[in-house]
Chains A and B, each alone.
Chain A
């Protein structure tokens, strides 16, 4: 427990550097107030066809959901085995967290990190580039459906997206069963199906409503709302998880 909190403290401390991470580089196309500061309360930008444009550099407002994705819930609808595993991970101070071995965070944990991600819309896919571990993810918007069989289960899963009103709705499945959904270690299986609703409220603020549906692990679906803010006048930095030498110091109970 102490160890995982120590890790969190480090991550939280790093958030401030992430917010002021690049040289003075005004981002083009950002509305500004009279004094030249970015106007993050300006209206949501839209594409010519009227849909919100999600493009930009974003970061989670805080690390609450990184610590505990179920922080908004009173009771987590665990299956008996998953509650047992979860309690073991908590008791073991999170020493086996795959992230400590440079593994991808998976979905939706990847939206909760204290490092920025960039959303970049292309004609066939919305691409998300993550500073932490320098990963990328494609959300296909070309109308395709999930493959009938996920022959290659993966950390980030297989994502398809569509618009419902002003919400960009992303369905992701085809996961392996390896990731931890948060630092506390909420488990999942390869039956996991994640729905993320990206809602850009105004120029500088976005909410991601993530719903976890994994009947093997949880008796009913549950959700988390992860608030994000835009980082103006900066860019992604390169964060390569380089032969992490620290896991040996994560000793557990």
Chain B
């Protein structure tokens, strides 16, 4: 009888512990009540790295315009700007950690690798410039919708590819990223890609990032030892 009671208590403790493990702590919050997105993250899946179509929101399809379809067919892996030490652009990620730092005016995304660079997001209510210089990371302004950080970006150059398989874009690209920290360990990202120059209609990709607790960015300088593109043969594709 006594041992059974102990068993029951032990079982309850174990299952309690197990369920505590299954339910991570909630997302922390800043002093102003907004979710704290700060931390070192790593991409939790390959949708924004290798192939956008793997992360398409249910019901969405990617419909390329003829010129974009032609460009995609022409793309060879060795010509992927990311493989040539150039920025990934938006919303593409490299498979390396990245870090969010934040205050009320600026959010910065710091990238460990490929390339060791950053994005700046203006949170003070300013608008996009009327005629922005085309850049790899574009011009990004952000605001909160409830607990979701919404980042709106325009002003991109047309150089980067969205993924390993070579989805292209034009300077008409407009991205809307929605970041929600659903618990301590998880940052959900939903990004809508609107580029009437390359796609027949907008589409949305859903991806996630995982917290790297205690992690820190290292220095990855892609240009330092870039001898790989000679080994990349054939059309753009997943490894």
Contacts and interface: CB of A to CB of B under 8 A. Distances in A.
Given A127-B110, A129-B120, A134-B118, A25 B223 contact: no
A127 B108 contact: yes
B129 A101 contact: no
Interface SS majority for chain A: loop
Contact of A238 (B106, B135, B221): B135
B69 interface: no
Contacts of A241: 223
Interface residues of B, number: 32
Contacts of A236: 120
Contacts of B217: 138
A120 B100 CA distance: 13
Contacts of A155: 219, 221
A104 B117 CA distance: 11
Interface in B126-146: 126, 129, 133, 135-137
A49 B237 CA distance: 54
A243 interface: yes
B91 interface: no
Contacts of A248: none
Given A238-B136, A242-B86, A243-B84, A136 B118 contact: yes
Contacts of B118: 129, 134, 136
A22 to B, nearest CB: 9
A102 interface: yes
Contacts of B137: 238
Nearest to B133: A237
Nearest to A156: B219
B32 interface: no
Interface of B: 38, 84-87, 101-103, 105-106, 108, 110, 115-118, 120, 122, 124, 126, 129, 133, 135-137, 216-219, 221, 223-224
Q: Which 9 residue pairs spanning A and B have beta carbons closest together?
A: A154-B219, A238-B135, A134-B117, A102-B223, A136-B118, A122-B101, A136-B110, A23-B129, A240-B136
